[in-house]
Structure formats: C-alpha cells, structure tokens
Structure 1
C-alpha cells in the first residue's frame, strides 16, 4: 500500500507518515510508569504550541482531545493535516462510516496542507460519489496541497473504477497527488492539471492511451512515480514528454516501449520491467548521463546524476528519494550514481542517498566525474578536511554486496578515501571492482601502488574480494 509523505514544497522537506500511537514505542516498564503533568501548565500554553503537540498524534487521537474542554474542542481542527484510516474488520461485514469521514473534513478549520484517506471501496454504497464528495471538499473548499487516496482490498471490478468529473484535480493549490489501487477508464479528472508537481500512481490499471493523456495533462510535474502500473494493451508505447521532470520511476509487469523526453531529468528508476525482445526504452535527456549508452536499463534499477542535481537550487527529486516516508527505495536493489567526490555538496547528497536504504543493496556503481587524470596531487585542504575520520560516510547501517568504481584515479585523495571507508567499515560485503584502465601508462606504478594499498587495509568483511580492471 502506498505510504504518503505529507510534503511542504516550500521547504522541500518530506514530513513523516502520520505518527503511530505513542505507547507503541514504549517498553512494558515505561508503560507502567505514570508521569504526572500539571494540567494548568499545559492549558497555559498558546494555541500554536498545543497544535504542534496534537500534530504528533494520530488524527483519531487528536479529535478525542476535544472532550477535555471547550478550548480543546476546536484545537484539533487547526492541525495542518488529517489522516483517516477506515480499515474495518471484514469478518463483521460492517459498512464504512462515510458520513463520519465527511464530517471530519467539514469540521476542520481553514485550509489543509495534506490529507490521506485509506478506504474500502467495495463496502461503499456508491464509491465514486463518495470519492467525488471527499475530493471536492478537500480540493475545492479546503484547498488541500497534498492528497492521498488509497483503495484497500479492491475486487478488480466496479469498486476499483475511478470515474470522476472533468478537471477534478486541477485546483491551483493541489500540488501533490497519490492514488493507490484504482482502474482509470478516462483521463478527464486530470484535465488542465498544470498545478501538480508530484504525482504517484500505484497499482493502477488503464490503457496506455489513458496514461499518456494523464501525463500530457500534467506538464508541471517534477516527480512522477508509476509504480506497479498495468496497461492492458500490448504493443503500445508509454510517452513521457516533460520539460520540468526531475525524477521518473516506472515499474510494470510488461513494457513494450517507453519514450522519455525530459531534458532536466536527474533520477530515473525502474523495477521488474519485463521488456520484450523488440522492446525499447528511449530517453532524450542530455543532462542525464548514460555513459554513452553503455548502461543497461534492464539491469540497473536506478540511475542518479548527483553532479547535475548539486548544481540546482531545488532538490525536490532528491528529497523525495531520501524520504523513507515516500517508500521510494523499497524495491530498488541496484544503483548507478555520477558524482564528483571532491565536491562537498555532491558528497553530502551521496551520503544522504546511501543512508536512506534500510536493506542491503545488491550493486552500487559509482562513476567518478571531474578532470582528475590531468591533475597532480591537486586537492585543497578543504577537500581533505571533508574526508577526515567521521566527517563523511560514518559506519552506518548501509550495506552493499558489490561495488564498482569507474574512472578511479589513484592520486585522488577523495576517491581513495571513499574506497577505504567502504572496505574498512564493512560497507561492501562481497566484492569491490576498481576501474583504472584510463590511468596513463606513465602512471602505472601509481595505479598499482594505490590498489595494493587498498587491498592491505583491514577489512570489515574478511571475505571481501578486491580487484582492478
């Protein structure tokens, strides 16, 4: 099921999924202890502080505080987001309380930053009318900035169909939209969606032409995630033409053709694309390096040009990737990055990227950028300090089975430091391959000495194999 980052685009930060009840993180001993807090001290706090406290609770718990007093009755209505999880016990065969959800939305004061709703479409008497009502309230009246709708346990028949009015998602305030588990018959709800910056469609069934119409109606997208989508007609081509797109992810059971024209693309990822023999993945993204076509889209899940990303003021694509709440990296197992490790900003982006993984990566390919081969010992003291012990790439949880280092320069201290950290901290568990073939012939001894020095370092994993090519 889709997780929903409650994003504030102005600060380019992705806030966490609505919090779990506080007791869930306490030990049994801690739960048994009573902490006495003076109620008057709490009530003396200003409203904005109390609203921040309520923001740490689930929407359900925040609403329950309304019974405390007249003042508290309205405080929850100022929380900038609401999350409504309508999961019910199917064994009881109870219908959804649609009116309760509508009442919560209506009672909230002012505009919403974000709202997410998990619902059971097949238990609604009229699913589409219910969704229309909620969307109209949230988008048109509450001017919600970020909206997530998750259809739980759809039965792949009538209950999954999303039949909405024209221009349903085109309100200028709506910038982020997540939809999970629906069938699209038309693209009318997306007409004139110049407002959307982030669109995530997960477990969506539709004809390729419908997907193409949706994407053509959203020319301002900067992040596009098509996760586990399915189009029923083979021998068709998914066309993505967007001048502002920074991040693109596509996963599907079968793909015949994908055409991408995105000159500002920095991050491209795919998963389980069962490309046919005649299939193609064509991209016209000159600033998105593909190493002269040598990198195989069928083999590698994710490509990230960190060097180009570092040159931009906006980091919406990067923030989306590294936010665990976005659930972006859940199935990415192979990664290719382009980076200049003498650039402190690029190093920090790389560190954030690798730290975001919560499972072992299978392959990591690092293509070093920069004019290293024509320089001699030319690194500044600032660059050297950046690689002091503990400054970058601390011994964290990130692990990768195999690492390939391309364009490795034996006298580049930053590159050598990165390779050393991977070896000594046990980051690489099986194999490290170092490409030194571009080193000039008159530097052969330097190359051999650097590789030999790396091989002699104490290994975090004794079975690690280090080789050069």
Structure 2
C-alpha cells in the first residue's frame, strides 16, 4: 500500500504498475462517467482516495428501484444536485415509478430538478416516468432554454407550450409516449431546434395531435412510431419537410396521410404503414385524394438505397399498382421484406420496380393460417440485377414456399446465391425437400442454393 492506501498491482515477473492508480481525478471521473451511479458509488470502497471521488463525477444515472424507499431516492438526488452545485453536469438520467402506497408523488419535484440541471449546463437529459399517473408531470419551460443541451429523451411526461425556445446545441431528441400542452407544441419545438439531426416520436392516444408537421432544415434521421392497437382516427396526418433526411422509419397503422415534402435523397428507410387502410377500410381506386397521397409518398421514398418494408405496406402498394404504375426505385440495392403469412403474390410487382436491386432478404415474424394459394399470374419481368437472396423464414417444404423459391430461381438472370433455412420440424424430410429444391430450374446456372 502507498501513503494514500492505494495498492499497486504489479504484473508477475515485471515492474509494471497499475497505471489506473496514477491517473488524475479528472480522468478517473471520465471513466466513471460511463457507469450507472449505483456502480460509481460502489467505487468508494476501493480506497481512501476513491471515497468521495464519485461525488465529483458529472453525471447522475439512477433508477428508484435501486433504493428500498422512494423518499431515499428523492433525498439522494437532492443531495447529489446540491453537492458541487457550481460545476457543470454532463448527464442527467432518471427512471422512476412513484406508485408506492407509502408515497404521495410530489409533481413539482421533477420540475425543480430540471430547473437545477439547466443552470448547471447539462448536456444529456433522459427521464422516464413509469408511474401510473404518467403525464401528470408537466416539465418547466426552462427545458426549452438549456443552451448546452445536446440530447433530450423524455418518456411519459408532458411538455409545456413553447413560448420561447433556445436550444442551439440540441442534436438528438426522443419523445416517447409524451403528452403536449397544445396541438402546436411539438411542431414548434422541432422547428426551433436549428441543429437537430435525430428525432424519435413514439405516439399514443394521449397526444391528441391530428396534424403533425416535422419541419427541419438539419434533420438527418426521423422515426415515427405509434401503437397500432389504439382507436383509429381516419384524418391523422404526418407531414415531413426535411430536405437533408437520410433515414426514415415509419410504423403507424392509424395515420391516414404521410406527406413527404422535398424529401431529398433517402439512404435508408423502414416502412410499416397502411395509410389507415385496414380490413374494414380497403383501398378504393375511386378515392383520388388517397391515390394521389400514396403516389406522392412512393415517389418521395423512391430514392432510397436500403429499405425494410412490411408485407402490410406491400399489400397497399399491390392494390395501388392495379390502378397506377409504381414509380421506379432505381437506387434500391438492399431490400428486406417482413411477411406475415404467405402473402407473397405481392412481391413480384414490387421487385419489378427495383431495376438495380442486388440483395433480397425475406423475413417472417410469425406464422399465420394459410390465406389462399399464391398465384404469380401473368408474364413476369426478369430480375436482371438480383445477386443474393436469403429467406430467413424457416421452410417446411410446403407448396406455397416452393412457389416463392421457384419464382426467384426461374426469373433471376445473375443470381449468385440463394440461402434457405429449414424448420426443425422437417429435419427428417430434409432429403426430400433438398431433392425438390435441386429439381427447380435456375435461370442463373452458377447460382448456389445453400440450405441451413
């Protein structure tokens, strides 16, 4: 031990010293910055030098579940924020559930903490309210004037109406099942963030926003997710005006209209939407406004290079293709399709709109009952660019599955490799299935069929 109680660890047979013990406190705090606060506090038992070091780490990352009592959690947060109150705070991350029978939640306390950390030039805020009374807590307007803030993640909290916004450093914002003081609160907030690059909005019934406009000259990534089990509102609209957008994820069965204004050149997209066309509200070719909206949306995403698309979206596109020609996805190189059931008859129509597609991945998240025989009717265009196909759904050797495999092998001119996975339930019939696969004619004779 040295004078400070530090134990120098020497490698066997060498004079090397544990250099961590030689680091200055400021660098040790940077290391501890990456750990949850409960683990940072545990470091205090290492030596006398480490006893109070955790108090100087410019971050708070806590879950009230780490404490036996909720009041102890509250007191710890208060004490931490009071200590070294003049210093800057990099991270403020809290997850709490105040549904304890012995505690009557003090709604104002979260607002007081937010006001405090704003004065300490916080860079990253991540607060999750997991209480039964979520959305009762409205954050103070000071959250809109934190000029040091780089990332903001809020879950199940209410945001005030932004009368004044000054967030010149905010690049990342995630608002998950949040509530807003009025219909324009979110739209105004997005518009007032001049360097915003990533935006995630996970919506629920409580936001009551009928028209959401996402207008940003700096936005590179946008994710819009909603719970499809909520009540259907037919006139919900999401309008996106982000000319620098590179990544787009949409997963929402409630929104009737997705509008892309000046979409720029998308690089990657993940699309799982139906434009509010469900089993009880089918696509109507006579609905010209809906047709125009779908056409414009497809044109807007047609520059994408890498896309994941759900079979439910393909079904809408398939219905639309019966009355209008699909735009060409000339840049699309990688396509991943997530299927439910065996609705594979929609696939050829879309593939023929992708003249430069090189890789196709077919996934399936669950099995469903047979929905009718697949019929790839009419003459099919050759897939002249497709090189690699992977069907990740475990095959059972059923006729509908073989029809898809046959279509791909018989219509792909330069296909190099087709990878398949067999279901564990058909391992005994593996040789029979393999013979059937080998018997399928291949337009690309060098193509390898790999069965895993």
TM range (shorter): 0.5 to 0.7
Shift of 1:299: 8.8
Task: Measure, in 1, the Cα distance between the counterparts of 2:30 and 2:302.
Answer: 35
Aligned to 1:146: 124
2:157 aligned counterpart, secondary structure? strand
The verdict on how the C-alpha distance between 1:280 and 1:51 changes in structure 2, with shifts beyond 3 A counting, is: same
Task: Measure, in 2, the Cα distance between the counterparts of 1:223 and 1:467.
Answer: 47
The verdict on how the C-alpha distance between 1:258 and 1:60 changes in structure 2, with shifts beyond 3 A counting, is: same
Aligned to 1:166: 141
Shift of 1:145: 1.4
Aligned to 1:103: 79
Shift of 1:174: 0.1
Aligned to 1:17: none
Task: Measure, in 1, the Cα distance between the counterparts of 2:353 and 2:48.
Answer: 62
Shift of 1:265: 2.1
Task: Measure, in 2, the Cα distance between the counterparts of 1:452 and 1:400.
Answer: 23
The verdict on how the C-alpha distance between 1:289 and 1:172 changes in structure 2, with shifts beyond 3 A counting, is: closer
Shift of 1:179: 0.7
Aligned to 2:450: none
Shift of 1:240: 1.8
The reply on whether 1:264 has 2:238 as its aligned counterpart is no
Within 5 Å, which residues of 2 pair with 1:47-196? 47=24, 50-51=28-29, 54-55=32-33, 57-77=35-55, 79=57, 81-87=59-65, 95-107=71-83, 110-121=87-98, 127-141=106-120, 143-156=121-134, 160-184=135-159, 186-188=160-162, 191-196=165-170
Task: Measure, in 2, the Cα distance between the counterparts of 1:332 and 1:138.
Answer: 42
Partners of 2:197 and 2:218 within 8 A in 1: yes
Deviations along 1:267-297, one digit per CA (max 9) or x if unpaired, are: 222334324xxx322221332569xxx9965
Aligned to 1:226: 201
Shift of 1:66: 2.0
Deviations along 1:27-57, one digit per CA (max 9) or x if unpaired, are: xxxxxxxxx9949847633136644654564
Task: Measure, in 1, the Cα distance between the counterparts of 2:260 and 2:62.
Answer: 39
Bigger helix fraction: 1
Partners of 2:303 and 2:331 within 8 A in 1: yes
Aligned to 1:15: none
Within 5 Å, which residues of 2 pair with 1:300-339? none
Aligned to 1:274: 254
User: Structure 2-normalised TM-score?
Assistant: 0.57
Aligned to 1:400: 363
Shift of 1:118: 1.1
Structure 2 segments unaligned to the other structure (5+ residues): 1-6, 11-16, 278-296, 315-328, 366-379, 396-400, 423-429, 443-452
Structure 1 segments unaligned to the other structure (5+ residues): 1-35, 311-317, 319-328, 355-359, 374-386, 437-446
Task: Measure, in 1, the Cα distance between the counterparts of 2:404 and 2:266.
Answer: 21
1:87 aligned counterpart, secondary structure? helix
- The structure showing larger relative contact order (alpha-carbon pairs under 8 Å, at least 6 residues apart) is 1
Shift of 1:239: 1.9
Shift of 1:335: 9.2
2:177 aligned counterpart, secondary structure? strand
User: Structure 1-normalised TM-score?
Assistant: 0.56
Task: Give the root-mean-square deviation of aligned CA atoms.
Answer: 5.3
Partners of 1:162 and 1:182 within 8 A in 2: yes
Matched positions, count = 342
The reply on whether 1:202 has 2:188 as its aligned counterpart is no
Partners of 1:267 and 1:305 within 8 A in 2: no
